[in-house]
Structure 1
Amino acid sequence: MKAFHLLPTLSVLSLSLFALTACDTQKPTETANQTEQTAKTSNEQNNNNKATTNYAGKTLTVYSYDSFTSDWGPAPKLKESFEANCNCTIEFVPFEDGVTMFNRVRLEGDNPKADVIIGLDNNLLNSAQASGLFAKTNIDLSHLQLPTKWTNQTFIPYDYGQYAFIYNKEAFAKNGKTPPKSLKELVNNQNYSVIYQDPRTSTVGRGLLAWVNEVFGDQSEAAWKALSKHTVTVGKGWSETYEAFKNGESDLVLSYNTSPLYHKIHEDTDKYVAASFDEGHIVQIELAAQLKASDTPALAQDFIAFLLTPEAQKTIATSNIMLPVINTKIEPNFDAFVAEKTLAVPTPDDKTAKAQIDVWQKAVSK
């Protein structure tokens, strides 16, 4: 997901620009309502991940998406906390979204400027694995709590959530609207104005791509055509699209079912709601990875391991507004949160993703 206190609105791709090319299951998961003893055990395990080695004079370069690295995102607090223990320097480099960031890493190839990348996800997992650019770690994954079993030692989860369409219940009531109860209803009902993200540049957009394909199958092209008739804009990344929605430019925006937690915790309002869909929701697991070509591999692995400590998990959850991947207390709203039904945890390869994007682009370009 993406941290809130949103960025100023950036330019968005209108439907007239769609023809242009760009670069290129488990049961519902309940979060930390487990016993105190389990939480204590998890905390003890994760405290072992704190950096204890002195890396004097070393600099770790970390690529991530812009809302993660922003002043209000997790990066500043993570940097301060880790640097206090490692005697090193952490430098974050922001990108508009995870897909754009991954494309940069692929272009840099065997001479990357980054040591660590934060912001890959399960939709990019197979493509990232196939690139051969990332190094396997020996980080302990036994304490992870996710909607699916995780054994990959190269790509390390640091948070997760489910994609959802967010609406303003006060605006809906004022306009006499009721929220859609399924993805099919959202796609086919032209009374709903919608904003979502470009799957060519955004991991969130890739999530919708997977969602449409899971629900509509070989009818996906027709679904995209139907949705395009009441799509206001398609943005390059999450920040600009969520800001546009908050400015009243659409009825619904593609985001995460955890998004309302931000407004509840930080703005003391419950007017923003995640629509619950009968078909179930697509899971996003966000991932960190070490570049093989890093000249500070031990520091890189220590930093990724640090992301799984209770301290870092709380920072990430409350700043990035996503669910923790370990059993640890966050705050009452997070601790009481229950996820929606899981439809899928997609991990498409490059060929599948390209085919799905081609179908989307063909449909919305007409």
Structure 2
Amino acid sequence: MPARLLALLLACVLPVATLADKRPTLNVYTHPSFASEWGPGPAVKTAFEAHCNCTLNYVVLDSGGDILQRLRLEGEHSKADVVLGLDTGTMEAARQTGLLASHDIPLQGLALPVDWSDDLFVPYDWGYFAFVYDTEQLPQPPASFEDLLAAPEDLKIIIQDPRTSTPGLGLLLWMRHIYGDQAAEKWAQLNKRILATTKSWSDGYFSLFMNGEAPMILSYSTSPAYHMAIDKTDRYQAAAFREGHYLQVEVAARVRSSGQPELGRTFLQFILTRDFQRHIPLKNVMYPVIELGEELPEVFSRLIKPTETRYFEPATVAEHRRAWLDEWLDAMTR
């Protein structure tokens, strides 16, 4: 290639590269189910970058608990601009670190089962914990916790560890909300039916439940939507419990030490738009926090509708979490 032509090409290309290098980067700490290729993360990245003139970078940690732990360890030197993947079970502990910043975003008109007016946390999805069952192994599932506790001991279930798993903590809170001070006694009864307590939801769901190791697993009331819409099967369904189901709301927040505070706020505002929320139902397999109307997949109309929403305020969870975990551990090791 002639030298003059090469110089001309470089003159055209280098300014473009320089402009690209100057685009700000927004670092979002999140977990694998959001950022994975089958999760909402890639589509959200494409949609946000289309109008932000920035680069959205996911830093993927194992779980919401790991996000909180990393934030604590890094403190004021954290490279995170936004954390996405905490929930109502962990958000108060995150608030107490003092490392998060107010979002200053109006939160009226959200499609949540509870009122939401938090000044730090913006919700991005929600759902109910439930036991999902295999209709081919278990045609008639328990219809309540009492039915489950009284079931024959050959009915085995898979749950997750509340110390390491969001659904595991959800089950702990669910039972505590129903049984109060009798929760330890009920855990001891439930222990006879537990085939495995896995570290994470995916360990139990894909490695054990989907391989037929047990007919029931702790998951979400929305889990069957994925099987119906993507796998084209009604085989896996959620059992509706008469006592009601425990609510989980997943949230995002700005980090106070962020070098991109306005971009972080713009991203939190983007969370509440259709361009973000339309990716939640079948990629995060949860309910969106705004009304999607006809964009909500039809399979969501076939999910169970809990008769009662069970829910502790985040401050209550933070106050009692350690004691309730100790209670669970004692009951499981008797």
Cα drift, residue 365 of structure 1: 2.0
State yes or no: 1:126 paired with 2:89: no
Comparing 55-64 and 123-132, the one that deviates more: 55-64
1:257-272 alignment runs, 5 A limit: 257-272=221-236
Q: TM-score of the superposition, structure 2-length normalised?
A: 0.88
In the alignment, what sits opposite 2:6? none
1:70-94 Cα shifts (integer Å, max 9, x gaps): 1100001101111111121111122
Cα drift, residue 335 of structure 1: 5.4
| Structure 2 residue corresponding to 1:141, chosen from 91, 94, 107 | 107
1:188-227 Cα shifts (integer Å, max 9, x gaps): 4323211111111112111101111112211211222222
Query: What is the CA–CA distance in structure 2 between the aligned matches of 1:222 and 1:133, rounded to whole Å?
Result: 38
Comparing 180-189 and 283-292, the one that deviates more: 180-189
Query: What is the CA–CA distance in structure 2 between the aligned matches of 1:187 and 1:120, rounded to whole Å?
Result: 31
Secondary structure of the 1:85 match is: helix
Secondary structure of the 2:128 match is: strand
State yes or no: 1:180 paired with 2:142: yes
In the alignment, what sits opposite 1:202? 165
Query: What is the CA–CA distance in structure 2 between the aligned matches of 1:183 and 1:335, rounded to whole Å?
Result: 24
1:141-173 Cα shifts (integer Å, max 9, x gaps): 112121111001211111101100000111224
| Structure 2 residue corresponding to 1:247, chosen from 195, 202, 211 | 211
Secondary structure of the 1:229 match is: helix
Cα drift, residue 284 of structure 1: 0.5
| Structure 1 residue corresponding to 2:81, chosen from 115, 132, 152 | 115
In the alignment, what sits opposite 1:80? 46
Cα drift, residue 354 of structure 1: 0.5
Q: TM-score of the superposition, structure 1-length normalised?
A: 0.80
| Structure 1 residue corresponding to 2:322, chosen from 341, 354, 364 | 354
For these two proteins, the number of residue pairs brought into alignment is 309
Cα drift, residue 185 of structure 1: 2.2
| Structure 2 residue corresponding to 1:155, chosen from 121, 127, 143 | 121
One-letter amino acid of the structure 2 residue matched with residue 258 of structure 1: T
Cα drift, residue 292 of structure 1: 0.8
State yes or no: 1:103 paired with 2:69: yes
| Structure 2 residue corresponding to 1:288, chosen from 252, 256, 259 | 252
Query: What is the CA–CA distance in structure 1 between the aligned matches of 2:180 and 2:303, rounded to whole Å?
Result: 31
One-letter amino acid of the structure 1 residue matched with residue 257 of structure 2: A
In the alignment, what sits opposite 2:281? 317
CA RMSD after TM alignment: 1.8
Distance 1:108 1:168, change over 3 A: same
Query: What is the CA–CA distance in structure 2 between the aligned matches of 1:206 and 1:169, rounded to whole Å?
Result: 26
Distance 1:338 1:311, change over 3 A: farther
Query: What is the CA–CA distance in structure 2 between the aligned matches of 1:303 and 1:360, rounded to whole Å?
Result: 38
Query: What is the CA–CA distance in structure 2 between the aligned matches of 1:89 and 1:257, rounded to whole Å?
Result: 34
One-letter amino acid of the structure 1 residue matched with residue 282 of structure 2: T
1:36-71 Cα shifts (integer Å, max 9, x gaps): xxxxxxxxxxxxxxxxxx995211111112111111
One-letter amino acid of the structure 2 residue matched with residue 242 of structure 1: Y
Distance 1:217 1:188, change over 3 A: farther
Q: Which has the larger radius of gyration?
A: 2
Query: What is the CA–CA distance in structure 2 between the aligned matches of 1:130 and 1:342, rounded to whole Å?
Result: 30
Structure with larger RCO (C-alpha < 8 A, sep 6+): 1
Unaligned runs of 5+ in 2: 1-19
Distance 1:333 1:349, change over 3 A: closer
Counterpart contact for 1:145–1:325, Cα < 8 Å: yes
Comparing 303-312 and 270-279, the one that deviates more: 303-312
One-letter amino acid of the structure 2 residue matched with residue 241 of structure 1: G
Secondary structure of the 2:133 match is: strand
In the alignment, what sits opposite 2:195? 232
State yes or no: 1:278 paired with 2:242: yes
Distance 1:351 1:188, change over 3 A: farther
Query: What is the CA–CA distance in structure 2 between the aligned matches of 1:317 and 1:193, rounded to whole Å?
Result: 29
Distance 1:184 1:110, change over 3 A: farther
Counterpart contact for 2:113–2:309, Cα < 8 Å: no
Query: What is the CA–CA distance in structure 2 between the aligned matches of 1:133 and 1:184, rounded to whole Å?
Result: 42
Counterpart contact for 1:188–1:223, Cα < 8 Å: no
Query: What is the CA–CA distance in structure 1 between the aligned matches of 2:137 and 2:90, rounded to whole Å?
Result: 35
Counterpart contact for 1:64–1:117, Cα < 8 Å: yes
| Structure 1 residue corresponding to 2:310, chosen from 344, 350, 356 | 344
Query: What is the CA–CA distance in structure 1 between the aligned matches of 2:69 and 2:262, rounded to whole Å?
Result: 25
Distance 1:271 1:336, change over 3 A: closer
